[in-house]
């Protein structure tokens, strides 16, 4: 009976647009004592609550983007190193966690880490043992390209699978290329619809463009081909069958000069308030603020992007939260038509690190971009896209892999940006080295309605973040910098909540009408 129920679970969930990729964890245990209930017109049915680990959005990294090409395209060798790193918090029992078949190392504090260079196409996934509560985990894919049209530092907080994802960032005007990468880690096929939004609303057919993703496969779609000529875009990915992991790669070329590249992961779901940490701004003169937020001899510009996914007009207000509290800026209030995308430049504010608070009278989606340039011009800029994030809520982890060039690690300067949008809070920060050994433990106070930063050690391979008991809501992102002779490089990685919710588990129904009773 147990085997038949699991088979029914996979088939029925796949047919309803929700696939639980059980092959990532092995057979999931079925709780004892399944409930039998009566349903009108269906006869007796059996409901089985699935374990939380079987529903967790396990990180899925797409592998080198240059090796994933749209139909008819040609794969190119990555123009620089690509590395995938993972960290998983302690698991009570079961086999150890692994990354693409490599067991994560335990340095004695329980947290396990691994980092793998990536030179071939294909998915990279984290495997964890089944459990009633999924552990906090993170996988980050980092690529460094010092030359070529996609020159830049791209760091992606590898997203889990989902049935709906909003990717806020990029554009499709001449010289700008957007490549959407859809990954399916499950054993069954998946299918997704793609809807592109621009300044004038949704583009193309209302149902979007449908793409099939094979089992354990990856598909790439050129957004600039679907909706050309747009300065600002946001992409909605709707899984029609199964669940997919979505990433948008944005690259820009101005004339013959590369103008930056970055990977864009999903933003927080539509809501009336969105929080985007990790915005770095320098003065128009190029003056650099004190502290580690911006490397010397650079200037950084920022803009907040807002999307109205609804059918009603939205009135939006944007507030910046800095080290000294809320800051207003020009153009902070705007009206957004249904389906439209709008960019609000961050201007008229002092140099520093900020978080954007986007509030509206209806649900919106948000993100932001930082463009970093070398002072004096004449060199290539780079862009870092930041996503809106949800409150940490409990312990969370973030992997910080370091690429290697010519056998030597590339120095990556990492600054943690933490925001308390309401009341004050404190965040415990545990830094871990590559062996899993603890480097340091500090507590970062975050005043109410403010955003503060904390420089991480150059040798930190991962961090564990835990809001101190009694803290108000806290959100965080990591801002990464790499020095380069052609101009500084930047990327922004969101810190996602650690534990998967266990209160809303779907039920599997065995229905005699399907022949799976």
Residue boundaries of the structural domains of the chain: 2-55+502-514, 60-494
Res. 354: pLDDT tops 90 = yes
Binned at pLDDT 50, 70 and 90, residue 273 comes out as: very high
Give yes or no for residue 510 having a pLDDT over 70: no
- Provide the 3-class DSSP secondary structure of residue 262: strand
Phi-psi region of 352 (alpha: psi -120 to 50; beta: other; left: phi over 0): left
Compute the average pLDDT of residues 258-286.
Answer: 87
Q: Are 144 and 410 in contact (CB under 8 A)?
A: yes
The closest alpha carbon to 464, from 400, 401, 388, belongs to: 400
Q: What is the pLDDT of residue 36?
A: 40
Chain centre distance of CA 348? 29
Give the pLDDT confidence score for residue 290 in this predicted structure.
42
**How far apart are the C-alpha atoms of 130 and 95, rounded to whole Å?**
9
pLDDT for 468 beyond 60:
yes
* Cα angle for residues 337, 175, 284 (degrees, 5° grid): 70
Identify the band that residue 301 occupies on the pLDDT scale cut at 50, 70 and 90: confident
Comparing 75-79, 286-290, 377-381, 418-422, the range with the smallest average pLDDT is 286-290
- Asked if pLDDT for residue 363 goes beyond 80, the answer is yes
Compute CA 113 distance to the chain's CA centroid, rounded to the nearest angstrom: 19
List C-alpha distances in Å: 232 to 36, 195, 212, 246: 51, 14, 26, 18
| Contact call for residues 380 and 257 (beta carbons, < 8 A) | yes
| pLDDT beyond 90 at 359 | yes
Beta bridge partners of 176: 252
Q: What pLDDT score does 299 carry? A: 62
308-329 b/e with 16+ CB inside 10 Å = b?
A: bbeeeebebebbbbbbeeebeb
User: With pLDDT > 70 as the criterion, what percentage of the chain qualifies?
Assistant: 77
Q: What is the token pair recorded at 85? A: 């790193």
Q: How many CB atoms lie within 10 A of CB 18?
A: 16
User: What is each CA distance from 12 to 187, 229, 365, in whole angstroms?
Assistant: 14, 41, 31
Segment 255-273 shows an average pLDDT of: 93
Say if residues 341 and 305 touch (Cβ distance below 8 Å). yes
Residue 129's pLDDT is 78
DSSP per residue over 446-478, as a string?
A: E-TTEEEEEEPPTT--EEEEEEPTT----EEEE
pLDDT tens for each residue of 310-345: 999 999 999 999 999 999 888 899 999 999 999 999
Q: 332, 318 in Cβ contact below 8 A?
A: yes
Please give the Cα distance from 418 to 323 (Å, whole number). 10
d(CA 278, CA 296) in angstroms, rounded, equals 18
Q: Is the pLDDT of residue 231 over 70?
A: yes
Higher-confidence residue: 58 or 445?
Answer: 445
CA distances from 4 to 7, 9, 411 (A): 5, 8, 53
Residues 346, 271, 317: CA angle, nearest 5 degrees? 35
**Res 376: pLDDT:** 58
| Secondary structure class of 425 (helix, strand, coil) | strand
Using the CB atoms, write b or e for 69-86: b if 16+ within 10 Å.
Answer: beeeeeeeebbbbbbbbb
Give the tens place of pLDDT for each residue, 386-431: 999 999 988 999 999 999 998 899 999 999 999 999 999 999 999 9
By CB atoms closer than 10 A (0-12, 13-18, 19+), residue 483 is middle
Q: What is the mean pLDDT of residues 295-305?
A: 71
Burial class (CB in 10 A: 0-12, 13-18, 19+), 40: exposed
The Cα 47–Cα 31 span in angstroms is 11
Indicate the pLDDT class of residue 163, thresholds 50, 70 and 90: very high
CA trace torsion 254, 257, 263, 269 (10° rounding):
-20
Of all residues in the chain, the percent with pLDDT exceeding 90 is 60
Q: What is the pLDDT of residue 292?
A: 41
Q: What is the pLDDT of residue 162?
A: 94
Mean predicted lDDT score pLDDT of the chain? 82
Given this model, what pLDDT does residue 69 score? 67
Q: Ranked by mean pLDDT, which of 54-58, 234-238, 343-347, 503-507 comes out on top?
A: 234-238
pTM of the shown model: 0.84
Strands 137-145 and 43-49: unpaired
Confidence bin at 90 (pLDDT 50/70/90): confident
For the residues of 389-401, what is the DSSP string, one character each? B----S-EEEE--
Whether 23 shows a pLDDT value over 50: the answer reads no
Element containing residue 10 per DSSP (H, E): helix 2-15
Q: For the residues 8-31, what does the mean pLDDT come to?
A: 36
| Main-chain dihedrals φ then ψ at residue 12, nearest 5 degrees | -70, -40
CA distances to 23, 85, 241 from 126, in Å: 12, 10, 22
Q: Is the pLDDT of residue 165 over 50?
A: yes
pLDDT at position 52 over 60: no
Higher pLDDT, 89 or 452: 452
What number is the average pLDDT over the span 186-209? 90
**How far is residue 62's CA from residue 68's CA, in Å, rounded to a whole number?**
8
């Amino acid at each position: 009976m147990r085997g038949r129920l699991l088979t029914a679970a996979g088939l029925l969930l796949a047919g309803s647009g929700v696939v639980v990729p059980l092959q990532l964890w092995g057979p999931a245990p079925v709780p004892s004592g399944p409930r039998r209930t009566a349903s009108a017109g269906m006869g007796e049915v059996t409901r089985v609550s699935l374990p939380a680990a079987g529903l967790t959005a396990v990180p899925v990294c797409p592998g080198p983007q240059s090796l994933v090409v749209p139909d008819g395209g040609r794969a190119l060798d990555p123009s620089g190193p690509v590395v995938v790193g993972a960290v998983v918090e302690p698991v009570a029992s079961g086999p150890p966690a692994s990354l693409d078949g490599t067991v994560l190392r335990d340095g004695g504090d329980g947290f396990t880490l691994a980092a793998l260079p990536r030179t071939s196409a294909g998915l990279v996934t984290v495997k964890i043992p089944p459990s009633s509560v999924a552990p906090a985990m993170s996988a980050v894919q980092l690529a460094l390209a010092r030359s070529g049209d996609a020159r830049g530092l791209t760091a992606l907080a590898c997203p889990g699978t989902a049935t709906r994802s909003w990717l806020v960032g990029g554009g499709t005007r001449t010289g700008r290329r957007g490549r959407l990468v859809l990954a399916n880690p499950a054993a069954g096929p998946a299918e997704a619809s793609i809807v592109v939004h621009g300044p004038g609303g949704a583009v193309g057919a209302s149902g979007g463009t449908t793409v099939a993703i094979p089992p354990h496969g990856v598909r790439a779609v050129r957004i600039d081909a679907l909706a050309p000529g747009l300065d600002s875009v946001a992409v909605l990915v709707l899984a029609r069958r199964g669940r997919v992991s979505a990433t948008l790669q944005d690259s820009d070329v101005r004339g013959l000069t590369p103008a930056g590249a970055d990977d864009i992961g999903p933003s927080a779901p539509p809501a009336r308030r969105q929080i985007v940490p990790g915005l770095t701004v320098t003065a128009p003169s190029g003056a650099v603020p004190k502290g580690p937020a911006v490397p010397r001899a650079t200037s950084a510009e920022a803009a907040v992007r807002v999307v109205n996914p609804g059918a009603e007009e939205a009135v939006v207000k944007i507030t910046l939260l800095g080290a000294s509290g809320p800051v207003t800026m020009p153009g902070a209030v705007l009206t957004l038509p249904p389906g439209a995308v709008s960019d609000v430049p961050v201007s008229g504010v002092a140099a520093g690190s900020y978080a954007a608070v986007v509030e509206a009278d209806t649900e919106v989606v948000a993100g932001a971009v930082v463009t970093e340039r070398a002072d004096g011009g004449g060199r290539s800029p780079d862009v870092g896209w930041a996503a809106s994030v949800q409150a940490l809520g409990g312990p969370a982890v973030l992997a910080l892999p370091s690429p290697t060039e010519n056998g030597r690690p590339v120095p990556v300067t990492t600054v943690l940006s933490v925001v308390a949008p309401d009341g004050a809070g404190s965040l415990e920060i545990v830094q871990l080295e590559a062996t899993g050994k603890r480097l340091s433990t500090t507590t970062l106070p975050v005043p109410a309605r403010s955003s503060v930063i904390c420089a991480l050690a150059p040798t930190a391979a991962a961090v564990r973040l835990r809001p101190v008991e009694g803290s108000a809501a806290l959100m965080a992102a990591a801002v990464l910098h790499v020095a380069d002779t052609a101009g500084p490089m930047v990327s922004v990685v969101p810190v996602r909540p650690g534990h998967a919710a266990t209160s809303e588990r779907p039920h599997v129904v065995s229905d005699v009408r399907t022949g799976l009773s």
